[in-house]
Chain A
Amino acid sequence: MGALVEEFPVILGAFWLTVRLTLASAVVALVLGTVLAAMKVSPFGVLRGVATAYVNTLRNTPLTLVIVFCGLGLGTVLDVSFSESLSTNYLWLSIIGLSAYTAAFVCEAIRSGINTVPVGQAEAARALGLTFTQNLRFVVLPQAFRAIIAPLGSLLIALTKNTTVAAAIGVGEASLTMKSMFEQHQDSVVAIFFGFALAFLVLTLPTGLAFGWLSRRLKVAR
């Protein structure tokens, strides 16, 4: 227990990084996933093909590979740079990897949400003269999102836990901090482990509850 108390500021800092990683990746993944879903239902075959190829590739590649590719491939080999500071740079590279990966799942969730909107409503919107993008924006997507709030919550929980993979390219989030604490405090490994596991629960349990509540509240009456 002593180790946890002693290192509390470090642990807090590590989890704060986890939260930032999660939120930044969630926002980018939501935007990218929405664009991909729009491409998948668009009338243009090329866009549908690109989106399908993207989803199939990213969804079926292990996240560790995606993150390592971002760190080594983009960062080291292609020299993509966001910041002078090496740690900030790897943080951004890991956000790219996490959001690129999660966007594939977001896209599929949104597409299943789109399927819950009766075709007739999209037809009625077209008949009013709404363009394809207006139709998505004002009629289809608002209803699609409200139908998939609970699955999006699950994706956010998965993303929170997936941020630990960023440790693979040296981003000092919670799991990497835990690993280094194991080395410094070998007498209290079990306490440290449960401390970190509990902290993850503190992040993820409310997420699940909040999204469940939202999904009931925003349900579209049919």
Chain B
Amino acid sequence: MTEAKGSTSLVRLEGVNKHFGALHVLKDIDLDIARGEVVVAIGPSGAGKSTLCRVINRLETIDTGTITFDGKSLAVEGRALAQLRSEVGMVFQSFNLFAHKTILENVTLGPIKVRKIARAEAEKRGMELLERVGIASQAEKYPAQLSGGQQQRVAIARALAMDPKMILFDEPTSALDPEMVQEVLDVMISLARDGMTMLVVTHEMGFARRAAHRVVFMADGAVVEQNTPDEFFTNPGTDRARDFLSKILTH
């Protein structure tokens, strides 16, 4: 697997803790993601992978620790936080397209309202992105008229339209019918090849092997081990990881 491009860190989490009531979902997380790096977070459900994803653009708050993005500490609220979020794309398990807007409007809303780009220009760029993810012919349709795989590709185009410095993928293929998983993974792999910084929570080991620079294995809210995909899948360093891999790779 190729080395991550660039060496400066884009996101840095230090000593991050998060509780949901009595449940300790993130335990002393330290994690650096470099520019251009593709990190896959895997682990059993309830390990805190999604929460890890969501704290980076502060859809979840943290209890203690620090998160810096692009050299700046994460803003707590207001415009500075909105600014940060506009630089971090997010793709959700359930797509979350705006149901009352057409596909093209979904992609142009952020650029027009947040980036204040002229409509015509935003639409031109939006069409290019829809072209890239293979949905340009559906631009005037509404989300409910598209298949899950198509909706998720639109969601990726929507994130790309903001020219983000990084994209977070929170189980992007978990809600899809099996035959639609690959079309979404193909788009993600091409993004990874183009040097996008990505944190991907997924159970797709094939994607991890093909596109990731690093696999972060989490269990019970902690990072148990991290390594290159090859090393991790062939020679896991901990019993917890071996146990997890034996359960998912045998069937």
Q: Report which A residues bind B (CB closer than 8 A).
A: 43, 118, 120-121, 123-131, 134, 138-139, 142-143, 146, 220-222
Contacts and interface: CB of A to CB of B under 8 A. Distances in A.
16 contacts: A43-B77, A118-B96, A123-B59, A128-B85, A128-B109, A128-B110, A128-B158, A128-B162, A130-B109, A130-B110, A131-B82, A142-B100, A143-B98, A221-B142, A221-B145, A222-B144
Contacts of A126: 59, 82, 85
B100 A143 contact: yes
Interface in B53-105: 57, 59, 77, 79, 82-90, 92, 94-100
Contacts of B142: 221
Contacts of A143: 98-100
A132 to B, nearest CB: 9
A124 B88 CA distance: 11
Contact of A127 (B57, B83, B95): B57
A124 B110 CA distance: 10
Interface of B: 57, 59, 77, 79, 82-90, 92, 94-100, 109-110, 113-114, 142, 144-145, 155, 158, 162
Given A126-B85, A221-B145, 9 more contacts: A43-B77, A124-B90, A129-B85, A131-B79, A138-B113, A143-B98, A143-B100, A146-B100, A221-B144
Given A126-B59, A128-B114, A121 B88 contact: no
Contacts of A139: 98, 109
A118 B100 CA distance: 12
Contacts of A120: 92, 94-96
Nearest to A43: B77
A124 B92 contact: yes
Given A126-B85, A129-B85, A130-B82, A121 B96 contact: yes
Contacts of B145: 221
A121 to B, nearest CB: 5
Nearest to B92: A120
B22 to A, nearest CB: 23
A118 B142 CA distance: 16
B92 A123 contact: yes
A129 B99 contact: no
Contacts of A124: 90, 92, 96-98, 155, 158
Nearest to A131: B82
B100 A129 contact: no
Smallest CB-CB A-B distances: 5 pairs: A129-B86, A120-B96, A124-B96, A221-B144, A128-B110
